């Protein structure tokens, strides 16, 4: 689990009357979600990077636990790093010239959409009374 997931789970457990303990390996919350400033690239995300504009629950949780968020500046170049080389680009995805890579991206997005539409059936998770 990342630290934010652990905190969220602990919050649910506490609301269910249990007394959870969350151990954090660092001096801050956020787990792998961490951004550093770099002279060359300005800001670099070292773990979980993006929260979508409709993900209100995680945004509230980040605010509650003092995790800083910021809007992504899409006006500047992003960097696609492959095989030791950096390729700056603008937009949501790096440009692809390989048709197989394009098909892989298309398959990834279709698979994720399909998974999002399916009912969550984690047997172990559904057995707990606090998960509906």
Cα–Cα distance, 53 to 57 (Å, whole number): 11
pLDDT tens for 4-51 read 778 788 888 999 999 998 887 777 766 666 777 777 767 776 766 677
C-alpha dihedral (100, 105, 116, 52), degrees to nearest 10: 180
Instruction: Give the list of residues 6+ apart from residue 63 with CB closer than 8 angstroms, or none.
Output: 69
Per-residue tokens: 130: 């606090």
Strands 78-82 and 42-45: unpaired
Indicate yes or no: pTM above 0.75. Answer: no
pLDDT value at residue 130: 44
Looking at residues 104-115, what average pLDDT do you find?
Answer: 88
């Amino acid at each position: 689990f990342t630290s934010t997931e652990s905190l969220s789970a602990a919050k649910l457990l506490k609301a269910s009357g249990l007394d959870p303990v969350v151990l954090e390996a660092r001096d801050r919350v956020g787990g792998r979600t961490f951004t550093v400033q770099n002279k060359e690239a300005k800001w670099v995300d070292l773990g979980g990077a993006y929260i979508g504009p409709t993900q209100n629950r995680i945004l509230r949780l980040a605010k509650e636990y003092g995790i800083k968020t910021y809007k992504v500046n899409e006006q500047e170049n992003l960097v696609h790093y492959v095989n030791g080389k950096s390729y700056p680009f603008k937009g949501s995805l790096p440009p692809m010239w390989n048709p197989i890579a394009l098909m892989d991206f298309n398959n990834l997005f279709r698979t994720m959409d399909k998974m999002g539409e399916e009912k969550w059936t984690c047997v172990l998770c559904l057995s707990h009374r606090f998960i509906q």
